[in-house]
Chains A and B, each alone.
Chain A
Amino acid sequence: MNNIEKYLLELLDSPLQLGALILGMIAFLAIIVFANSYLFYFRLMFLNLRRNIIRTSLTAIASIVLVFVVTLVWTVLWFLNLVTSEKAKDFKAIITEKWQIPSQMPYAYEASLSEGAPGQEGDYKIDKSVDAMTWQFYGATIDPEKKTRDNIIFFFSMEPMKMTKMMDGMEEYSASQLDQLNKLCEEMVKDKRKIIVGTERLQAINKKVGERIKLTSFNYKGIDLEVEIIGSFPEGRYNQSAILNRDYLNDSLDDYNRKNPNSKHPMSNRNLNLVWIRVPDKDVFQKVERQITDSPSFTSPAVKVETASSGISTFLDAYRDLLWGLRWILAPFILATMALIIAVAISISVRERRKEIAVMKVIGFTPIQILFLVLGEAVMVGGFSGLVSSIATTMVINNVFGGIKFPIAFFPIFMIPIDAIWWGPAIGISTALGGSLLPSLSACRVKVSEVFARTS
């Protein structure tokens, strides 16, 4: 299934989006009918805009730039909104240590937590082979003598085959990319020393696929691993990430403890950071949450169960002010600036054409027709600029730059969604309407006798 098919299916799932799509199609048909009947009006609007090409171009360029910035800002907000929105079905939950950040639970919790801690008959049991995933964070450097930001790698240590089934963002990849990832995961299962590293991280450590490296850990001191890079993630969210087979980490930890029976590794009972589970609906989630929190097995340390969106929201709390500023100050400020730019351009244009507007009134054009003519010119500039900007922004940012690099929490990069294609025209048209309303009203209120009294 390609991205367009996926998008269409998503549309069908959402009544709101489906309604918007139908309305959009009706509007499109209306425009075609309108254009056919009143082609002259469109031509007149176009010619009026063309009479001062420099002014129109500058207005359009300003709109394109501002739509570009708004698209970037909205992409970040849209994505964070998406991941923090509660889903009704098939959603993920995160189980972490209750009283400590970062969460560090004993690995002994893994078996039961991955199944939802069923203890009694009638309890819900999660199928851990498909609906559970554990994360153990393993940080290491390839140059222990001189640890820098560029030579460290941060691993999600996990079961490789859970990656494409459980990790967020996999739906952004194409079928062939997922196939390729699954093949890499199978290799990781066969040989636990094999790893996958994101493209940007590979560049940062100056290594290539196929190379073997030695990892010196800084959070699992003494647990140093030798690994082989067998592949990288497709461009996107996991550019900076890396995956390690959890068996390799756990076996190495066991080895360490066997060799040092009198001084177990300090991470021995703290080596499980997160457990992800997938539940079919809210009722099951609540039931599993009760099973886990009521269980006497998880009291030291105590654990908590949150929906993934709630868990991510907690992570994003640190960025709350920044996000609030983006949403309520930067974006509205840019939209207001766009409206003002269009207002100024249209005001000057109307002022220059007062006599022509008066002549049109003499001929028989009604005030409302004049109003729509002027509004139409603004909408033409705003809508066109918005469309050009959103298409160019989406293509260039996603395909050339590989997304917006704006690391927030554990989201290093944001891909512009396909929805952004209509954000541009919507922003352009709405700011054009807002900005040109006063100039249009002034145009339709032109008094013919006053204009010609001045002329004569």
Chain B
Amino acid sequence: MSENIVVRVENLTKSFSRGSEKIDVLEELTLEVESGEFLALMGPSGSGKTTLLNIIAGLDTPTSGTVTVGKNLISKMSESMLASWRTRHVGFVFQFYHLLPVLTAYENVELPLLLLPMTRAQRKVQVMNVLDLVGLSGRINHIPGQLSGGQQQRVGIARAIVTDPELIVADEPTGDLDSKSADEILDLMGVLQKTLGKTIIMVTHDPRSAARAQRVLQLEKGKLVKDSRNFSYVTGNAGN
């Protein structure tokens, strides 16, 4: 693998069975994502965007094919290994934030650090740094119910980056926000990519959000059909 490639997906297939019917969600998909790239995954509902994102993030396993993130062949890892790997290497941003409602902003961000061998003081430094980065250092003791949607999503982003992962995956991160808050979140993701050099893979339906990405991939019926940075890059069965 090239030094610059963070995610490599090769001949990825994901199928589900519904009764006797076999449904291919992803078919022989091959993809590479470079380090520090901001990639948008677009496509109609059911095209396999979220499934692809889940497999790259180690939340789901492929039916066949391989997925390598960094130097780790995650498609062969057990559930426990994947859990440990995710803590250190992947940050996940959800459409509906999914913060733990009983915890404060600070505690929600601290949650992934509890799984790492760190002292309370070390955790505090790291949590305060990322909350400062997302502009919420003044709201650390607020529970999610006391924050706006945009603020909750910023806490979600802080939680995703607090372990300093190389890869951030975001599933429609602006899907539940008004346009102003959505812009703020996209600005923030731009900062993460440009300033901190994070690799970001974002699933979105929104062309305005996708326009912020360096590269846009279009999926249809489980196949990669368009790459906006380089159309000739499309491999797999798309267009064949």
The residues in B between 44 and 76 inclusive whose CB is less than 8 angstroms from any CB of A are 50-51, 54, 57, 59-60
- Selected interface stretch from B97-105, B124-132, B208-216, B219-227: B97-105
Asked whether any CB of chain B lies closer than 8 Å to the CB of A47, the reply is yes
- A364 and B87 within 8 A (CB): yes
Residues of chain A lying within 8 A (CB to CB) of residue B96 = 455
Out of B60, B94, B100, B115, which one reaches A364, CB within 8 Å? B115
The residues in A between 425 and 453 inclusive whose CB is less than 8 angstroms from any CB of B are 448-449, 452-453
- A456 and B95 within 8 A (CB): yes
> Closest residue of chain A to B92, judged by CB?
A362
- A40 and B110 within 8 A (CB): yes
A399 to chain B, nearest CB (A): 39
Residues of chain B lying within 8 A (CB to CB) of residue A359 = 94, 98, 100
A347-359 vs B, CB cutoff 8 Å, 1 = contact: the mask equals: 0000000011011
We find that the number of chain A residues with CB closer than 8 angstroms to chain B is 29
- B110 and A449 within 8 A (CB): no
- B83 and A452 within 8 A (CB): no
A38–B114 alpha-carbon span in the complex (Å): 9
- B80 and A366 within 8 A (CB): yes
A50–B110 alpha-carbon span in the complex (Å): 20
- B111 and A448 within 8 A (CB): no
- A356 and B100 within 8 A (CB): yes
- A364 and B83 within 8 A (CB): yes
A158–B163 alpha-carbon span in the complex (Å): 82
Residues of chain B lying within 8 A (CB to CB) of residue A369 = 115
- B60 and A362 within 8 A (CB): no
Residues of chain B lying within 8 A (CB to CB) of residue A38 = 114
Residues of chain B lying within 8 A (CB to CB) of residue A366 = 79-80, 83-84
Interface centre among A38, A360, A448, A453 (most CB of B within 10 A): A448
A229–B219 alpha-carbon span in the complex (Å): 100
- A456 and B50 within 8 A (CB): yes
Residues of chain B lying within 8 A (CB to CB) of residue A355 = 98
The residues in A between 364 and 418 inclusive whose CB is less than 8 angstroms from any CB of B are 364-369
Out of A48, A50, A448, which one reaches B59, CB within 8 Å? A448
Residues of chain A lying within 8 A (CB to CB) of residue B107 = 40, 43
Number of contact residues on B: which range applies?
Answer: 20 to 34
> Closest residue of chain B to A456, judged by CB?
B50
Given A364-B84, A453-B50, A50 contacting B92 (CB threshold 8 A): no
Residues of chain A lying within 8 A (CB to CB) of residue B172 = 456
Asked whether any CB of chain B lies closer than 8 Å to the CB of A361, the reply is yes
Asked whether any CB of chain A lies closer than 8 Å to the CB of B8, the reply is no
Asked whether any CB of chain B lies closer than 8 Å to the CB of A149, the reply is no
Out of A48, A51, A358, A456, which one reaches B171, CB within 8 Å? A456
A48–B102 alpha-carbon span in the complex (Å): 7
Asked whether any CB of chain B lies closer than 8 Å to the CB of A9, the reply is no
A318 to chain B, nearest CB (A): 56
Residues of chain B lying within 8 A (CB to CB) of residue A16 = none
A418–B149 alpha-carbon span in the complex (Å): 55
A451 to chain B, nearest CB (A): 10
- B159 and A363 within 8 A (CB): yes
Our count of residue pairs bridging A and B at CB distance below 8 angstroms stands at 75
- B98 and A50 within 8 A (CB): no
- B50 and A367 within 8 A (CB): no
Residues of chain B lying within 8 A (CB to CB) of residue A27 = none
Asked whether any CB of chain A lies closer than 8 Å to the CB of B86, the reply is yes
- A363 and B60 within 8 A (CB): no
Residues of chain A lying within 8 A (CB to CB) of residue B79 = 366-367
- A448 and B171 within 8 A (CB): no
Asked whether any CB of chain B lies closer than 8 Å to the CB of A44, the reply is yes
A448–B94 alpha-carbon span in the complex (Å): 12
B94 to chain A, nearest CB (A): 7
Given A356-B98, A455-B96, A363 contacting B111 (CB threshold 8 A): yes
The residues in A between 29 and 47 inclusive whose CB is less than 8 angstroms from any CB of B are 38, 40-41, 43-44, 47
Residues of chain A lying within 8 A (CB to CB) of residue B197 = none
Given A449-B51, A449-B59, A455-B96, A363 contacting B115 (CB threshold 8 A): yes
- B54 and A448 within 8 A (CB): yes
Interface centre among B98, B111, B159 (most CB of A within 10 A): B98
A77–B9 alpha-carbon span in the complex (Å): 67
Given A364-B86, A364-B112, A366-B84, A452 contacting B103 (CB threshold 8 A): no
> Closest residue of chain B to A447, judged by CB?
B60
A47–B103 alpha-carbon span in the complex (Å): 8
Residues of chain A lying within 8 A (CB to CB) of residue B171 = 452, 456
Residues of chain B lying within 8 A (CB to CB) of residue A364 = 83-84, 86-88, 112, 115
- A363 and B87 within 8 A (CB): yes
Residues of chain A lying within 8 A (CB to CB) of residue B86 = 362-364
- B111 and A360 within 8 A (CB): yes
Given A51-B102, A366-B80, A448 contacting B95 (CB threshold 8 A): no
- B102 and A50 within 8 A (CB): yes
A interface list, Cβ under 8 A from B: 38, 40-41, 43-44, 47-48, 50-51, 355-356, 358-369, 448-449, 452-453, 455-456
Contacts A44-B102, A362-B59, A368-B80 aside, 20 further interface pairs with beta carbons under 8 A come to: A38-B114, A40-B110, A44-B103, A355-B98, A356-B101, A362-B57, A362-B86, A362-B92, A363-B87, A363-B92, A363-B112, A364-B86, A367-B79, A367-B80, A448-B59, A449-B51, A449-B60, A455-B95, A456-B95, A456-B172
29 inter-chain pairs at a CB distance below 8 angstroms, sorted by A residue, are A43-B107, A44-B102, A50-B102, A355-B98, A358-B98, A359-B94, A360-B111, A361-B59, A362-B86, A362-B92, A363-B86, A363-B87, A363-B115, A364-B83, A364-B84, A364-B115, A366-B79, A366-B80, A366-B83, A367-B80, A368-B80, A369-B115, A448-B59, A449-B51, A449-B60, A452-B50, A452-B54, A452-B171, A456-B50
- Considering the complex of A and B, which 9 residue pairs feature the smallest CB-CB distances, nearest first? A364-B87, A47-B102, A449-B60, A359-B98, A366-B83, A448-B59, A363-B112, A364-B86, A362-B92
